[in-house]
């Protein structure tokens, strides 16, 4: 299920059964927006005020570091230090590989990194905040769409 940026959807349930409402894993699209001072940064700060716990995973950290601009290292380090990091172990690897295989059987190609991010999200029973909800078609996780640049 995808929840729009404003947090509501006509067909969304009143509670999130599949995820702990306190945990949200932020993918690289959200973190890069926060790093660059876009509105996602304010949303990220608001998470803590609302009692939500922001997480990320090693895949998203790698994606951020790969695209850092000159002078962004220190800010990126502060950003990452303020987040919990979801584990990526055998359980998450199996879940990610199973999703890739299942979707491939239906003719849908999923990226390895996206499947690992989704598996990390499921592993900590969290929601996933992303600017690219179409990259995460798995029914096992709840997606929050944080549009890029907004």
Kindly state whether residue 114 falls inside one of the protein's structural domains: yes
Kindly state whether residue 11 falls inside one of the protein's structural domains: no
Task: Please say if the pLDDT value at position 101 is more than 70.
Answer: yes
135 annotated as ligand-binding: no
Kindly state whether residue 3 falls inside one of the protein's structural domains: no
CATH of the domain at 87: 3.40.50.1010
20 annotated as ligand-binding: no
Task: Please say if the pLDDT value at position 138 is more than 50.
Answer: yes
Name the strand (E) or helix (H) holding 144. strand 142-145
| Distance of alpha carbon 64 from alpha carbon 91, whole angstroms | 24
For 5-63, what is each residue's pLDDT tens digit?
Answer: 434 333 333 333 344 459 999 999 999 999 998 778 888 888 888 999 999 999 999 99
pTM over 0.75: yes
DSSP 99-116: HHHHHHHTT----HHHHH
Residue range(s) defining the domain that contains residue 111:
23-145
Kindly state whether residue 139 falls inside one of the protein's structural domains: yes
For 73-99, what is each residue's pLDDT tens digit?
Answer: 999 999 999 999 999 999 999 999 999
């Amino acid at each position: 299920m995808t929840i729009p940026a404003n947090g509501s959807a006509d067909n969304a349930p009143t509670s999130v059964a599949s995820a702990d409402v306190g945990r949200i894993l932020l993918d690289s699209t959200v973190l890069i927006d926060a790093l660059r001072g876009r509105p996602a940064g304010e949303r990220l700060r608001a998470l803590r005020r609302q009692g939500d716990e922001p997480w990320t995973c090693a895949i998203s950290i790698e994606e951020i570091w790969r695209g850092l601009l000159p002078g962004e290292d220190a800010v990126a380090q502060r950003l990452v230090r303020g987040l919990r990091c979801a584990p990526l172990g055998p359980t998450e690897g199996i879940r990610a590989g199973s999703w890739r295989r299942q979707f491939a059987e239906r003719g849908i190609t999923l990226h390895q990194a996206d499947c690992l991010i989704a598996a990390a999200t499921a592993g900590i029973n969290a929601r996933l905040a992303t600017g690219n909800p179409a990259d995460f078609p798995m029914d096992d996780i709840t997606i929050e769409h944080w549009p890029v640049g907004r």
